[in-house]
Structure 1
């Protein structure tokens, strides 16, 4: 897809997310010769921090190239210029607790599958716990923001991959514990409790328990015999 700055400025567009000092603005852009797309743009980021915002955008582009073809991940369509790139527009709305509670099994299965596919390509999202990074269309789920994602280099993968992979997997269990605890397995519930104990030590961004501790404790108390059916 060919989309330059002049064409971007001329095309009808709708702001989806405002930018900040480091984060790009996100627009839905209506193209005259094709389907609508999503454009992430750091042109309006303050000049003093734009160099870092560009670096972060470049990292996200490289990660999206590494994930090309993964179901549930938007396709990178191309670069507009050094300040912007375009993505395929995926259907759906940001994940809500009600949507997850309606289809917990299928949405959790999609999130597990996408996470496993990312990890198989050496990519770790690290921000799946934020619902705005997930889209839901019916019973299907997609991951749409890779601004915090990381692809460790070969020399550091042996150390970081197990930690980063564990963080991503805990995000899946968080949704189950909060919104569909009946879907938690015994070992998964114990893993939730271990994560929450460690999370209390992370004082930089205190964790807001929304019932997952109590739900996981109750599931563990039920024992292995009452694990949900697959």
Structure 2
């Protein structure tokens, strides 16, 4: 039985099987939200193309301008799994480094549902609709990448605080100017947008 979630920006259907597949249908978005829905899906497709072959992210299976299909990753969200093993955060850091080297910053890692703990206990990332893509890794990209790291460390502080290093604590204590600006200006808008993108907890496990 397919698992379906509906939001203003369309539907996501998770089809079980071997392998399981997730399909985002922008045709199901509200008529006035379809341009934004397709723009975000196209951004996700572009990010997943750059990340092809990287363990810990979905594999892009198709994007025709209306429907995006990708592999589904079996696991639980960070909030559900609440990992206390420091190895999880060590491998999560490696995943971020490899992703950033390919010119992709996730840009939405404050949200625990975007982090998965796979059935093998490894980290995985989903939902690249807000990804920042810059093959040249310019200054703005580096700021976004730094925020990806800070959000990982915030999660580590929540679930595995005793294993934070002194350097990691200093990074958490000194948010960038961009992070402060986001907190006071764009974050409220981001919350509303994420509400439009929201899916039920089952569909997030992709």
TM over 0.5: yes
Partner of 1:141: 123
Larger radius of gyration: 1
The RMSD of aligned alpha carbons is: 2.2
Listed as ranges, the gaps of 5+ residues in structure 1 are: 1-11, 207-230
**1:166-213, Cα deviation, whole Å (9 max, x unpaired):** 11110111012222111111111011111289756522337xxxxxxx
| C-alpha spacing 1:36/1:198, structure 2 compared with 1 (3 Å) | closer
Query: TM-score scaled by structure 1?
Result: 0.73
Partner of 1:70: 54
Whole-Å separation in 2 of the counterparts to 1:27 and 1:164: 30
Partner of 2:170: 190
Cα contact 2:26–2:37 (8 A) shared by 1: yes
Of structures 1 and 2, the one with the larger relative CO (CA 8 A, separation 6+) is: 2
1:39 CA displacement: 0.8
Partner of 1:214: none
**1:11-50, Cα deviation, whole Å (9 max, x unpaired):** x5211x4222x4x42211246xx53311112111111221
Partner of 1:212: none
Are 2:121 and 1:110 equivalent residues in the alignment?
Answer: no
Are 2:184 and 1:203 equivalent residues in the alignment?
Answer: yes
Cα contact 1:106–1:139 (8 A) shared by 2: no
Cα contact 2:43–2:128 (8 A) shared by 1: no
Match of 1:122 among 94, 103, 108: 103
Please give the secondary structure, in 1, of the residue aligned with 2:27.
coil
Whole-Å separation in 2 of the counterparts to 1:198 and 1:116: 20
Please give the secondary structure, in 2, of the residue aligned with 1:146.
coil
Whole-Å separation in 2 of the counterparts to 1:55 and 1:122: 19
Are 2:21 and 1:37 equivalent residues in the alignment?
Answer: yes
Please give the secondary structure, in 1, of the residue aligned with 2:162.
helix
Matches within 5 A, 1:213-228: none
Partner of 2:196: none
Whole-Å separation in 2 of the counterparts to 1:171 and 1:39: 27
Partner of 1:14: 3
**Deviation larger for 57-66 or 196-205:** 196-205
Cα contact 2:23–2:70 (8 A) shared by 1: yes
Please give the secondary structure, in 2, of the residue aligned with 1:39.
strand
